Amino acid sequence: MNTEELATKIVAILTEQRQTLALAESLTGGLLCASLVAVPGASAVLNGAVVAYNTAIKHQVLGVDASLLAIHGTVHPDVAAHMATGARDVLGVGEQQAYFGLATTGVAGPESHEGKLPGTVFIGFAATGFVETRDFVFDGDRESVRVQAVNAALTCLHDYLTAQE
């Protein structure tokens, strides 16, 4: 399924279930949020996004543990998981967490970063009592890796949502 179809289906499912989504993006730099915002009615379910391109923002805003970042760097599955749970917290409304958190971190390229090759991507997904990460290696240039990462993140969320129906 392409990105537009996935985003449309996700917004429809979340709207029907009255659930909210919060995003934390690193390598995708807002592209994930933009793909959802392009869907009419997304404002009913999308609480917002944090583009945490800077490592300190991952820690200070999203609450990613500083020792985790110091030991593993920013391109790691545990960082993606912490970003997803952190997004649920900081992008909640009032006392209510966002229902789901979705996060992207990785290396778009063209060079390696923190010893990880271009195309290395980790997606984090969080819901109440559930956290999952998936890892990917994508081919292509910087833009292609970012687009593939967005599609992978939306696919992860879509798979979870449709498995719950």
pLDDT of residue 142: 98
pTM reported for the whole predicted model: 0.97
**pLDDT tens digits for 105-117?**
999 999 999 999 9
- How many domains does the structure of the chain reveal? 1
User: How far apart are alpha carbons 105 and 91 in whole angstroms?
Assistant: 18
pLDDT value of residue 85? 98
CATH code of the domain covering residue 40: 3.90.950.20
* 119 in Cβ contact with 139 (< 8 Å): yes
Residue 61 buriedness (CB in 10 A; 0-12 / 13-18 / 19+): middle
66-77: average pLDDT: 98
**Across residues 141-156, what is the average pLDDT?**
98
Task: Write out pLDDT tens, residues 16-32.
Answer: 999 999 999 999 999 99
Domain of residue 16 covers 3-164
Q: Is 80 exceeded by the pLDDT of residue 165?
A: no
